[in-house]
Amino acid sequence: MTSPIWHPFTQHGLGEPIPLVSHAQGAAIHTVDGRRIIDAISSWWVTTHGHGHPRIMAAIAEQAARLDQIIFAGWTHEPAETVARELVAITPAPLTRVFFSDSGSTSVEVALKMALGHFANRGEARHRILVLEHSYHGDTIGAMSVGARGVFNRAYAPLLFDVETLPFPATGREQATIDALEAACRDDTPAALIVEPLLSGAGGMLIYPPATLRAMRDLCTRHGVLFIADEVMTGWGRTGTLFACDQAGVVPDLMCLSKGLTGGAMPLAVTLATNAIFDSHWSEDRARMFFHSSSYTANPIACAAAAANLAIWRDEPVLDRVADLERRQRTHLAALASHPAVHGARQLGTVTALELGDGTSRYLSDLAPRLLAFFHDRDILLRPLGNTIYVMPPYCIDDADLGLIYGAIAEALDRFG
């Protein structure tokens, strides 16, 4: 029987196989036909500790038996209160307010609306948003607007608002980014700059140094421009520290978190804000409240999963596991870097990436579907970004599975290089 499902980021006209998954555990996904698939990209970057982590699963089951859902406008519950308190405790002091939502894209929408509302409520006419070249912040309208224009959003161009794009701070071009930001802030003070700190994900796993992130933050502070850190993908240890901003000693005005917030077990997101942004919306005038919500804001079951994840980070040596995975991957990447088909081999924390071909990352490269099928046939979940192959596994992955991943990449380099 043909499935009625319309899958995301899937061109059904290509007839690519869509496996039926039965269960998952640790770093592996299992299908109904008996295959064991190594999850080399953490199921789209969300699964941090591994599938089916017992502490998170137990928290979900316990909460489901107690309180499944409650309106969050004017009500609260203990799982949300726990998550909010824990997040404020582990993030830098100026981030004192926690707004819940349900996806990374939505957390970005919230941050943008908070930034614009902040200045509107203060009577300041600031509407411009600054973004980095190659950025990707999600697929809702606001998130697409602050992302790179191209194949992801070309059909929806009439819906998108204008932004000002700064050049990506590639190696050797960092100063051009800083100069462009300074000019943008000087000419007509914008409302906010939004960045993926240190690592541009869907834009091709592009890396830039902490010093550049620090310089951008300093410029925003000097000009009173709000600094939004989209840590949806980079947070929760992916870049080697709890948050990527930590490596630059940067504290944003707004921080977006999702994906690993629940260890990847449940959909949940938050936008953390400073008191100054909260206070600009605080009033006895109901027209100045922050107008945003969804039916499932701070769902209790999802919050219970997040609370369990935060407990894991508090009680267990997660960053030691991250450092170990970083070290093991560095060895594998070094073995591939000298291959004649490899360009731009790079690593940041637990993320490695390389280009197969001429060194240019092209999302619609003809290689992409062939690489996808190649890895699929070898029971490995790798989903190249065009001709950019990247690895972002759960922190629990063992040496055997990691070796199979990089062995398959080496074989692909020989086959397609």
Q: What is the full per-residue pLDDT of the chain (417 aa) written as tens digits? A: 789 999 999 999 988 889 999 999 999 999 999 999 999 999 999 999 999 999 999 999 999 999 999 999 999 999 999 999 999 999 998 999 999 999 999 999 999 999 999 999 999 999 999 999 999 999 999 999 999 988 888 999 999 999 999 999 999 999 999 999 999 998 888 999 999 999 999 999 999 999 999 999 999 999 999 999 999 999 999 999 999 999 999 999 999 999 999 999 999 999 999 999 999 999 898 989 898 999 999 999 999 999 999 999 999 999 999 999 999 999 999 999 999 999 999 999 999 999 998 766 677 778 889 999 999 999 999 999 999 999 999 999 999 999 999 999 999 999 998
Structural domains in the chain plus CATH codes: 12-39+317-416 (3.90.1150.10), 57-315 (3.40.640.10)
Q: Is the pTM of this model over 0.85?
A: yes
CB 331 within 8 A of CB 296: no
Q: Give the separation between CA 197 and CA 135, rounded to whole angstroms.
A: 11
